[in-house]
Amino acid sequence: MAELESRTVSNMARVLIQQGVHRHEQELEASPPPPTREERLRSALESQQPRRLRGAPRRLRLHRPG
């Protein structure tokens, strides 16, 4: 490849490494960031099936300040 482009072998290696690094950086930018802990928790909760409450709801006492 170096001879075809009239380059030295070391220069060709440098160019190929730069191209590889550039491609790798583009792939990293294109991929979405990994989900945060909150997003994973929300997803896990949303994927659960809803459950029915057992028995009648109990009366709650709310604390009123002052």
**Chain segment 32-66, per-residue pLDDT in tens:** 888 999 999 999 999 988 888 777 777 777 778 86
Is 61 a domain residue?
no
Domain that holds residue 6: 1-34
pLDDT for res 3: 92
Is 41 a member of any domain? Answer: no
Q: Which residues have CB under 8 Å from 5's CB, separation 6+?
A: 12
- Location of structure tokens 């928790």: 41
Structure confidence at residue 18 (pLDDT): 96
Cα gap 14→18, rounded to integer Å: 6
pLDDT of residue 50: 83
Q: How far apart are CA 23 and CA 25, in angstroms?
A: 5
Evaluate whether residue 59 is within a structural domain: no
pLDDT at 9 over 90: yes
| Per-residue pLDDT at 17 | 95
Asked whether residue 13 is domain-assigned, the answer is yes
What is the domain count for the chain? 1
